[in-house]
Amino acid sequence: MIKTSLPFCLFLSTLPVWFSWDPFLPYFTAALLLALGVGLAIQKTPPRATVLDKVILCGPVFIAMPMAVFGTEHYLDPTSVGGIIPAWIPAHTFWVIFVGTCLVLGGVSIVVQKYAWLSAGFFGIMLLWFEVLMHIPRVVEAPHNRLAWAIALRDLSFSCGALSFAAMQAGDCRIKKMRWVIPASRMVIAIVLLVWAVEYFLHPELLPGVPLRQLTPSFVPGLVVWGYLTAVIYVVSGVCLLINKSAHFAATWVGLFVLFSTVVFCVPIMVQHGSDIGSGLNVLVDTLLLSGAMLCLAGSQCIEVANHMQP
């Protein structure tokens, strides 16, 4: 134990006094995994793949990078993270560190494309447990709290995107058993988009993507126009997904629109807030994760069509 920890202690002693892992670690993790994941995804695309195909294949990376970033935050602020765990669950610190470790390892697994379907599947299941243990009780406790509903639907959409990718990547021996996951995820995400469309019609000032607290930046011309545009896109795409007409197209364009919002709106917000992870980087990774979930759902729709054609 001493031999293992001594080099690490020496390394820490060489760091300047002003150095802090918060916010360095989340930013470093985000940049490293995003660059590595996108590079590997594009490198492994088929020779005749279009630019749009390459973006869709980057969808899992847009899920994996936020996973790892959220995982690092479990290490940096275990007290705050542990505070959202229900009081009746024992050993809060243990679960915070355990879940953080799983998120980091799972994100890396998806990025390097090793057991990616398993990591995505466990991530989706974990989010479903969050729904049962934390989000649904909060909604029941405060049914008129718009933010509680938004968070519950956000994690539900993330879960469906991850499970769609897991079902799509599962081997031939497993695909028949997991076939139901893809249409079920499509239906759930369709309902989420329709609910969020209403949110954006009522609150067009909210940042396009996930309707939480963040407002569209003041430097953006036509602030409310973006909110109404988001509502229209979500309505049309939600209906297409719900009736299973042009589902691949609908999920793709929602994913691209949310990716556009990430680059154009969320990057400046992240730069503006800098060291405030909650108001900066977390807004970006939240929005990017929704884009990844939609792109994974889009990719899974081809598998769903092929499955229906099988005898």
Q: Which of 250, 255, 229, 230 is nearest to 240 (CA)?
A: 250
* Residues 90, 231: Cα–Cα separation, whole Å: 41
How many angstroms separate the most distant Cα atoms in the chain?
A: 66
- Tell me the CA end-to-end span of the chain in Å, nearest whole number: 58
Round the average pLDDT of the chain to a whole number and report it. 87
Give residue limits of the domains in the chain: 22-38+48-309
Is the distance from CB of 214 to CB of 171 less than 8 angstroms?
no
Question: How far is the CA of 301 from the CAs of 57, 60, 206, 248, 257, in angstroms?
Answer: 13, 15, 29, 6, 18
Say what the pLDDT of residue 11 is.
47
Q: With the C-alpha atoms ordered 289, 160, 36, 76, is the resulting torsion angle positive or negative?
A: positive
Enter the DSSP assignment of 291: H
Q: What pTM does this model have?
A: 0.89
Phi/psi at 245 (nearest 5 deg)? -120, 120
Average pLDDT on 73-87 reads 88
Summarised one tens digit per residue, pLDDT across range 158-191 is 999 999 999 887 655 455 567 789 999 999 999 9
Total residue count of the chain as it appears in this document: 311
Q: Which of 306, 302, 238, 309 is nearest to 57 (CA)?
A: 302
Q: With the C-alpha atoms ordered 61, 281, 185, 85, is the resulting torsion angle positive or negative?
A: positive
User: Looking at the predicted structure, is the pLDDT value of residue 1 above 70?
Assistant: no
**181-202 vs 223-243: helix axis angle to the nearest 10?**
150
pLDDT band at 267 (very low <50, low <70, confident <90, very high): very high
Q: Which of 64, 68, 88 is nearest to 165 (CA)?
A: 64
Question: How far is the CA of 114 from the CAs of 65, 108, 127, 178, 261, in angstroms?
Answer: 15, 9, 21, 19, 30
Q: Encoding tokens for residue 247?
A: 């589902």
Summarised one tens digit per residue, pLDDT across range 106-158 is 999 999 999 999 999 999 999 999 999 999 999 999 999 999 999 999 999 99
